[in-house]
Amino acid sequence: MASKPLRPCKHPGCSELTRDGYCAKHKPKHQRKASADYHSWYGKTIWKRKLRPSQLIHEPWCAECDKQGMRTKATVVDHVRPHRGDWTLFTDETNLQSLCKYHHDKKTALEQAQERSKNGAFF
């Protein structure tokens, strides 16, 4: 079987030849986990035609706005506890809440910051 041809490293300005995209000196330290493929689950029929629409019909108003005495139409269905690739938690209807985009983005940013600090990865 033929091997890949040698090509210059993808790092700007590096002319080191490699088969893997980056030379050993410039290889990215933080590779995205292969298990992060669960993001594609949001394109599945069970999410698009059952879980998400059902949640928005059942709870059409943002849960966080409601706590503040405001009534804002929910546009996003959020997992109360992040599923992180756990199919059972992903499809658990009791783990879903309706949120407006503002509160969903705020919650997600906070969760991601906590995850980064837990893993010691600061950018």
Query: Residue ranges per domain, the chain?
Result: 40-116
Q: What is the mean pLDDT of the chain?
A: 89
Q: Is pLDDT at 102 greater than 60 in this prediction?
A: yes
Predicted TM-score (pTM) above 0.75: no
Query: Which pLDDT band, with edges at 50, 70 and 90, does 76 fall under?
Result: very high
Return the percentage of the chain with pLDDT > 90, whole number.
60
> What does the pLDDT read at residue 118?
82
The pLDDT assigned to 28 comes to 80
Confidence band of 51 (pLDDT split at 50, 70, 90): very high
Instruction: Give 90: exposed, middle or buried? Use CB within 10 Å, 0-12, 13-18, 19+.
Output: buried
Residues 6+ apart with CB under 8 A from 103: 62, 63, 64, 65
Q: What's the rounded mean pLDDT across residues 51-73?
A: 97
